[in-house]
Amino acid sequence: MAAEATKNYVLFPGCTIGNRIPFLEASARAVFEKLGVTFEDAAFSCCPEPVGFQSVDKESWLALGARNLCIAEAAGKIVVSLCNGCTQTLKAVNHELQSSPESKAHVNEILAKVGKEFKGSTIVKHFVQTLIDDVGIANIKAAVVKPLTGLKVACHTGCHYSRPSEVMQWDDPMHPKYLRALVEALGAKAVDYDEEILCCGNGAAMADEDVSNKLNLRKYKSALKAGAECMAVVCPACFQQLDSKQPNINKAFGTDINLPVLYLTELMALAMGMSPTDINLKMHRVKTDPVTGKLGVKAEE
């Protein structure tokens, strides 16, 4: 496959996955290894976070992002990010510094203090883009040994995945198609639901938890109405919001939502024959039995 010939990737797992939900990184590494994609690791710092940090201290945001890009640049590696926010930050910093000679010169003055220089040759990819462009749907289908036949999945790409489109330059920002294509390559059915591109509510949570919860509830109800048996996500912030907060939302609104939320790489791992124990599905707050039941195994095998 194309990815085997390249072998020049460095993994950017991000802070949230590494510190709070490391089982998602484990599933990603296992899946990519199965597909013949190998990663190097590097001493990256926080990306940093694309919204709040930038608003408070843009100079530091640019400098920290550029430092991460320099690390990959020096190694001649393509950055593969497991996180929407990290992908957006690194792509946005790359875009801004390449578009503004003044900003680039100023940031390089800062980086010179730690012996680095931003040149702008680094490529940053979301892991979904790597799966689509470098591995390919055909190779993914070939790796499936336990098709998720009959499983109805509500796809949720998240806000930072492909927006702003002029920076991300990936997928359709209003009608994303690649997550759906990957889910269906596993044998599942990606359902159409009205609130597919609605925010998960994570961004609003700090300012107004009630508004955040209502966004989540609206999204759950829309997915369930369409017949979804689980949700597929590709962002750690979205995963935490939609999985971890689901019981809290049920308590707050007196609802009985029971909609498992899985990272795309977890669904892929299951379809590729890995067990729920292999990928630590027991770490989810919402039980994943409706998904594993399709494969005839228990969630905590």
Per-residue pLDDT reduced to its tens digit, 207-256: 899 999 999 999 999 999 999 999 999 999 999 999 999 999 999 999 99
Candidates 97, 200, 100, 201; CA nearest to 155 is 200
**pLDDT interval class at 299 (50, 70, 90):** low
What integer pLDDT is reported at residue 7 of this predicted model?
62
Candidates 162, 157, 268, 174; CA nearest to 219 is 157
How confident is the model over 181-208, as a mean pLDDT?
Answer: 94
What integer pLDDT is reported at residue 296 of this predicted model?
82
Asked if the model's pLDDT at residue 118 lies above 50, the reply is yes
Asked if the model's pLDDT at residue 4 lies above 70, the reply is no
Between CA 13 and CA 161 the distance in angstroms is 15
Q: What is the mean pLDDT of the chain?
A: 94
User: How many Cβ atoms are within 10 Å of 9's Cβ, its own excluded?
Assistant: 22
Q: What tokens appear for 180 in the block?
A: 């759906």
Asked if the model's pLDDT at residue 6 lies above 80, the reply is no
Domains assigned to the chain: 2-127 (1.20.1050.140), 146-295 (3.40.50.11810)
The residue ranking higher by pLDDT, 3 or 250, is: 250
Give the three-class secondary structure for 23.
helix
Q: Name beta bridge partners: 84.
A: none
What integer pLDDT is reported at residue 290 of this predicted model?
84
Cα distances (angstroms) measured from residue 89 to each of 20, 233, 252: 20, 19, 33
What integer pLDDT is reported at residue 221 of this predicted model?
98
User: How many Cβ atoms are within 10 Å of 211's Cβ, its own excluded?
Assistant: 12
How confident is the model over 66-80, as a mean pLDDT?
Answer: 96
**pTM across the whole model:** 0.95
| pLDDT more than 70, % of the chain | 97
What integer pLDDT is reported at residue 300 of this predicted model?
59
Contacts 24+ apart (CB under 8 A), 278-286: 278/30, 279/23, 279/26, 279/27, 279/30, 280/23, 280/26, 283/21, 283/23, 284/243, 284/260, 285/243, 285/244, 285/246, 285/247, 286/243, 286/246, 286/247, 286/258, 286/259, 286/260, 286/261
Q: Which residues contact 111 (CB under 8 A, 6 or more apart)?
A: 63, 66, 67, 70, 117, 118
How confident is the model over 170-189, as a mean pLDDT?
Answer: 97
